[in-house]
Amino acid sequence: MKVFSVITAIVLSLGVSQAQELNCQVSIITDVNLDVTTVESDIFEQLEQTVFELMNNTAWTQDKFEVEERINCNLQIQIREIPQAGTFRGFIQVQSSRPAFNSNYNTTIFNFQDDDVTFAFSRDNTTNLVYRPNQFTDNLSSILAFYAYFIIGMDYDSFALNGGTPYFVKAQQVVMDAQNSGAEGWRSNEQGKQNRFWLVDNILQELFSPLRQCNYEYHRKGIDNLHEDREAARKAVYTAMNKLVKVVATRPNSVNLINFVQAKSNELKNMFEDAEMKEKNEIVGLLKRIDPANSSKYQEILN
Per the domain annotation, does 277 fall within a domain? yes
Residues 210 and 142 in one domain: no
Output phi, psi for 61, to 5 deg: -135, 180
Residues 32 and 154 in one domain: yes
Residues 50 and 153 in one domain: yes
Length of the chain in residues, anyone? 303
Closest C-alpha among 129, 127, 138 to residue 174: 138
Per the domain annotation, does 220 fall within a domain? yes
Per the domain annotation, does 22 fall within a domain? yes
Neighbours of 292 (CB within 10 A): 12
Calculated CA dihedral for residues 265, 155, 107, 296, nearest 10 degrees: 0
CA distance 234 to 221: 9
Residues 164 and 79 in one domain: yes
Q: Which of the 8 DSSP states describes residue 20? A: S
pLDDT tens track for 183-197: 999 999 987 778 999
**What was the pLDDT predicted at 1?**
29
**Pairing, β 71-84 against β 22-30:** parallel
Residues 64 and 210 in one domain: no
**What was the pLDDT predicted at 191?**
77
**Domain total of the chain:** 2
**What was the pLDDT predicted at 31?**
83
Neighbours of 89 (CB within 10 A): 14
Among 169, 193, 217, where does a domain finish?
Answer: 169
Among 123, 154, 169, where does a domain finish?
Answer: 169
Per the domain annotation, does 256 fall within a domain? yes
pTM tops 0.85, yes or no: yes
Residue pair 93/108 in contact (Cβ under 8 Å)? The answer is no
Per the domain annotation, does 195 fall within a domain? no
**What was the pLDDT predicted at 303?**
83
**Residues of the chain where predicted confidence (pLDDT) is lower than 50:** 1-18
**What was the pLDDT predicted at 193?**
77
Residues 94 and 239 in one domain: no
CA distance 70 to 16: 13
For 38, the domain range is 14-169
Residues 214 and 154 in one domain: no
pLDDT tens track for 242-253: 999 999 999 998
CA distance 226 to 100: 8
Per the domain annotation, does 196 fall within a domain? no
Residues 40 and 161 in one domain: yes
Among 169, 193, 222, where does a domain finish?
Answer: 169
Residue pair 211/242 in contact (Cβ under 8 Å)? The answer is no
